[in-house]
Amino acid sequence: MTARAPLPWWSWLWLSAAVVILDQATKALVLARFAPGEEFPLTGFFSLVLAFNSGAAFSMLASAPGWQRWFFVGIALAASVFLVWMLRRGGERMLCAGLALVLGGAIGNLWDRLAIGRVVDFLLFHYHEWAWPAFNVADSAITIGAALLIIDSFRQRPVKLAVPVRHK
């Protein structure tokens, strides 16, 4: 079986852009149709709800007095630069897809922080009194991308030796 030729690094930016567009479109729809805290059950375990998060994952640092906005903006900018650098280095499709998904998610949430000072969340899984913290499309892309990066890190690759081996 022949290996597929790697895609140019910049072609993966289309995946990142698709994540950002889908993320921002769904957030705009929820912002237009829901009041903060309003919940619309879709099933017995899944609802749409408008929630805002000024912190990070699981609302970490959400109660801080405001400095966290710029802290997370800085982290997202640095992560985005690093992810583009990694994409430019190239690699197999799973690696590049993971990087592109994480990049799109980081930019989607960065957009919220710059535009409104906090991240819009609206997807809520729950069961009786238990609820997973609300999240959004960008968070989902980051999670899926991170999973792809972890899986890719365990894949076997042929070893390329920098120095030729001499046999006696």
Active site residue 152: no
* Identified catalytic residue from 23, 112, 121, 152: 121
Nearest in space to 119 (alpha carbons), one of 135, 101, 142, 143: 135
Which entry of 23, 112, 139, 152 is annotated as an active-site residue?
A: 139
Q: What size, in residues, is the chain?
A: 168
Q: Is 139 a catalytic residue?
A: yes
Residue 63 CA to residue 34 CA, distance in Å, equals 23
Rounded to the nearest 10 degrees, how much is the dihedral formed by the CA atoms of 133, 134, 136, 141? 20
Instruction: State the amino acid at position 121 in one-letter form.
Output: D
Catalytic residues: 121, 139
